[in-house]
Amino acid sequence: MRILHTADWHLGRIFHQVHMTEDQAAVLDQFIDLIKDRRPHAVIVAGDIYDRSVPPVDAVRLLDEVITRILLDHRTAVIMVAGNHDSADRLGFGNRLFAGRGFHLFGRLDRDMAPIPVEDETGPVWFCPIPYAEPALVRETFGSSPEAVRGHNEALRVLADHMSARTPAGARRIAVAHAFVTGGEQSESESFLTVGGAGTVDGSIFEGFHYTALGHLHRPQHCGHDRIRYSGSLLKYSFSEADHQKGITFVELDGAGQITACESIALTPRRDVRRLEGYLNDILKGAAPGENRQDYVMVTLLDEGAILDPIGKIRQVYPNVLHIQRTFLERGSGAVRSVGDHRRLDDLDLFASFMEQVTGSPLDEEGRQVAADVIDDVLGRCREVAP
Amino acid sequence: MRILHTADWHLGRIFHQVHMTEDQAAVLDQFIDLIKDRRPHAVIVAGDIYDRSVPPVDAVRLLDEVITRILLDHRTAVIMVAGNHDSADRLGFGNRLFAGRGFHLFGRLDRDMAPIPVEDETGPVWFCPIPYAEPALVRETFGSSPEAVRGHNEALRVLADHMSARTPAGARRIAVAHAFVTGGEQSESESFLTVGGAGTVDGSIFEGFHYTALGHLHRPQHCGHDRIRYSGSLLKYSFSEADHQKGITFVELDGAGQITACESIALTPRRDVRRLEGYLNDILKGAAPGENRQDYVMVTLLDEGAILDPIGKIRQVYPNVLHIQRTFLERGSGAVRSVGDHRRLDDLDLFASFMEQVTGSPLDEEGRQVAADVIDDVLGRCREVAP
């Protein structure tokens, strides 16, 4: 059984004001080529299909196009579950009709949800969909007691057990879930499932499955065990993911359910997401040979002091620079000194204390004199205008 | 060929702050019973499926339920086109996959759009879908010149001709469109297609079709010709529709395409939409025997003068009273007299002029004296508080 496992497409994502739909379309084209090459028996998309519950129209159109091509041109079964970013009801529209076309879509939780058998030469593999759901909804849907299902861990166990119980004994089983399994590594672009960490679930829930295809965490990674895996997101969706190697996971199971291959196949984004660090003059010397100037970059400038329009200057070299960080401005932020009640400081002392926080060293006598002159001048003019 | 023709469901409609989804679900249940009884070869839904481009989740769930039951439980083909209230892209998601299940959904305009053949004992009838589209989009999609497609009339002709050309000569043809055909009668709840009336189209466009199933106007009606018909909306969606008899149109064509039956079958809403007129005391005497107190009512009160909390009082008899009109308050509005520059009137004259406008007769001497006393009293107290 050959499977392509992907997740966290976040279609319609806006990254520092850039609509990423074209970038997403470009890698999804490669994904479809991969389906053509590898001829998987099934494709898994493990949640966060869209970036938000009401995605932009372009994102809806892109998903329509991709799913239609996979199903009609390549006749490959798709198992897709909703993630915490998706609206389960909106995403799940028409799912009972789609099922007859091989598109197995799981949005809103439903007591009648059942595993999907997909056949290979040796028999069926049972795909057990576990769409993202709040614990309260799991209680309501499955009539569990509030004590039994307090958090995501218990909720996911109820769902996993519900699915397992609906597969034949000894069958090959694959879980498809959107969850934060304990020990996984987070990035900045995943929203918390639950404030305070109660959203994590225990990997042991998936012990009865031959493979668990996860979504939620954006870095491709195993989770404690080889058979429990995050494919990672389609693209880098935050600068904290700049060092990730994104891709699609290709998994192969033999007739006994043993994993015989597991590989992350890289996709080539139209524009990479990168972090640069240096002095402005060095950055402005231009991109290195072979470097894609069109990449989405964040620049950390080491220069101190005022710079006029740094992003405008850097844009000449990197047209898609999205964010600039000034180390010297942030230096003080780790240890903000108390200056007492700032409301009791006069204008000059207030400014001096601000400068000290920002630069890390006290304003010298010359600086104080310049500031005092400016303050006098400004206040004098104010008095002229409004006597 | 037996057809059930309906339109303008406006799922998710909010009517005077009441969410109508439960009312809609109740009549759609009856609609499904009708499908069971009449066993049509096809069901037509001619646009404005939803009330707005991003419908509430309840409405999405209701449409999913209804369509799934029609297709899976009753195996009846559905031909559905987008109306001007729908988002063509959002509504149309997955339509190429749905088509294989007998759900023929037409959202965004597409050059490859083709008629859908549905078979009866004598052969195929070709359903020609014409989803609502702005003339500019028709030009863009079909490469027509701006001169040839200036308004909705020309745009609809391009689409109707495109469809006709894709049916065999002599075939039975049914057009399914969402448009404002000249001569039709409007209600208050249809949004204008185009300001100024350029949105109307000529019924002659549909001459080549054996039946034209229209949506947009909310009153069931023929349009110039027996073969061109609005089914009307699912429910009454404004008080201006209080006298409409809503229903589903049942149409039968013989093997030659002649209409052998055409009937509007009434559905029974959970709550009717009605207008009442009278004096408050008469209204408060209670509902007549057999009258549904739960109906959505608008009350026109004939009383003059101030009434404390009239809607609260009427709600004791009609819990779902949604709107109250006071005839005496509106009497003056047709002929608001100029009182000169009201900024130059003193408080008493300003009040007297207001009363005259509202009641239609000048404030008498006693009234002036009462008003003067109140004004003096109020101003006196104001001076005490803020000297």
**pLDDT per position as a tens digit, A126-183:** 999 999 998 889 998 988 777 778 888 999 999 999 999 999 999 999 999 999 988 6
pLDDT tens across B70-107, in order?
A: 999 999 999 999 999 999 999 999 999 999 999 999 99
Q: Where residue A148 sits, what CATH number does that domain have?
A: 3.60.21.10
Nearest CA in chain B to A53: B57
Please, what is the angle between helix A135-142 and helix A152-164, to 10°?
Answer: 40
Query: Do A227 and A178 touch, CB atoms closer than 8 A?
Result: no
pLDDT tens across B324-362, in order?
A: 998 877 665 444 445 566 667 788 888 888 888 777 788
Distance from B177 to chain A by nearest Cα, in Å?
Answer: 23
Instruction: Indicate yes or no: CB of B93 within 8 angstroms of CB of A93.
Output: yes
Q: What per-residue confidence (pLDDT) applies to B121?
A: 94
A315 and A362 together in one domain = no
Q: What per-residue confidence (pLDDT) applies to B376?
A: 85
Q: What per-residue confidence (pLDDT) applies to B147?
A: 73
Instruction: Indicate yes or no: CB of B103 within 8 angstroms of CB of A97.
Output: yes
Q: Which residue of A90, A95, A101 is in closest CB contact with B57?
A: A90
A126 and A205 together in one domain = yes
B260 and B345 together in one domain = no
Instruction: Indicate yes or no: CB of B98 within 8 angstroms of CB of A93.
Output: no
Residues of chain A contacting B94 with CB distance shorter than 8 Å: 64, 67-68, 93-94, 98, 103
Final residue before a domain boundary, out of B266, B292, B320: B266
Q: Which helix (H) or strand (E) holds B2?
A: strand B2-6
Query: Do A207 and A164 touch, CB atoms closer than 8 A?
Result: no
Instruction: Indicate yes or no: CB of B61 within 8 angstroms of CB of A89.
Output: yes
Q: Which residue of B60, B71, B89 is in closest CB contact with A93?
A: B60
Instruction: Indicate yes or no: CB of B89 within 8 angstroms of CB of A57.
Output: yes
A229 and A315 together in one domain = no
Instruction: Indicate yes or no: CB of B57 within 8 angstroms of CB of A100.
Output: no
A200 and A169 together in one domain = yes
Winning range, highest mean pLDDT, from A137-141, A224-228, A309-313, B56-60: B56-60
Q: What per-residue confidence (pLDDT) applies to B126?
A: 98
Residue B58 three-state SS:
helix
Tell me how many domains chain A contains.
Answer: 3
A187 and A252 together in one domain = yes
Q: What per-residue confidence (pLDDT) applies to B195?
A: 44
Confidence of residue B192 (pLDDT cuts 50, 70, 90): low
Residue range of the domain that includes A28 = 2-266
Winning range, highest mean pLDDT, from A332-336, B24-28, B186-190: B24-28
Task: Give me the mean pLDDT over the B164-181 stretch.
Answer: 94
Nearest CA in chain B to A61: B89
Task: Compute the CA torsion angle B88, B90, B92, B93 (nearest 10 deg).
Answer: 160
Q: What per-residue confidence (pLDDT) applies to B304?
A: 85
Q: Which residue of A57, A72, A95 is in closest CB contact with B96?
A: A72
A316 and A366 together in one domain = no
CA distances from B3 to A201, B127, B209, B263 (A): 53, 11, 15, 11
Task: Give me the mean pLDDT over the B196-203 stretch.
Answer: 72
Secondary structure letter of residue B11 according to DSSP: B
Task: Give me the mean pLDDT over the B265-290 stretch.
Answer: 91
Final residue before a domain boundary, out of A266, A290, A310: A266
**Strand ranges in B64-218 using DSSP code E only, listed in sequence order:** 77-81, 103-106, 116-120, 123-130, 172-178, 180-181, 200-201, 211-215
A184 is written with which tokens? Answer: 């996984």
A340 and A326 together in one domain = no
Distance from B153 to chain A by nearest Cα, in Å?
Answer: 27
Q: What per-residue confidence (pLDDT) applies to A304?
A: 84
Nearest CA in chain A to B88: A57
For the cut 50, the answer to whether the pLDDT of residue A96 exceeds it is yes
Q: Which residue of B57, B72, B94 is in closest CB contact with A87?
A: B57
Chain A residues within 8 Å of chain B (Cβ atoms) = 54, 57, 60-61, 63-64, 67-68, 71-72, 87, 89-90, 92-98, 100-101, 103, 108
Instruction: Indicate yes or no: CB of B60 within 8 angstroms of CB of A103.
Output: no
Residue length of chain B: 387
B327 and B340 together in one domain = no
Q: What per-residue confidence (pLDDT) applies to A218?
A: 93
Confidence of residue A210 (pLDDT cuts 50, 70, 90): very high
A308 and A248 together in one domain = no
Q: What per-residue confidence (pLDDT) applies to A197?
A: 45
Distance from A319 to chain B by nearest Cα, in Å?
Answer: 32
Query: Do A288 and A51 touch, CB atoms closer than 8 A?
Result: no
| Secondary structure in 3-state letters for B273-292 | EEEEEECHHHHHCCCCCCCC
Task: Compute the CA torsion angle B208, B82, B272, B5 (nearest 10 deg).
Answer: 30
Residues whose CB is less than 8 angstroms from the CB of residue B43 and which lie 6 or more positions away in sequence, other chains included: B3, B4, B6, B35, B70, B76, B77, B78, B79
Final residue before a domain boundary, out of B266, B294, B309: B266
Give dist(CA A99, CA A114) in Å, integer. Answer: 12
Instruction: Indicate yes or no: CB of B94 within 8 angstroms of CB of A54.
Output: no
A230 and A362 together in one domain = no
pLDDT tens across B248-268, in order?
A: 999 999 999 999 999 999 999
Chain B residues within 8 Å of chain A (Cβ atoms) = 54, 57, 60-61, 63-64, 67-68, 71-72, 87, 89-90, 92-98, 100-101, 103, 108
For an interface test with B, the pick among A52, A71, A76, A96 (most B C-beta atoms closer than 10 Å) comes out as: A96
A278 and A262 together in one domain = no
Task: Give me the mean pLDDT over the A186-209 stretch.
Answer: 73
Task: Give me the mean pLDDT over the A8-16 stretch.
Answer: 94
Q: Which residue of B87, B94, B100 is in closest CB contact with A94?
A: B94
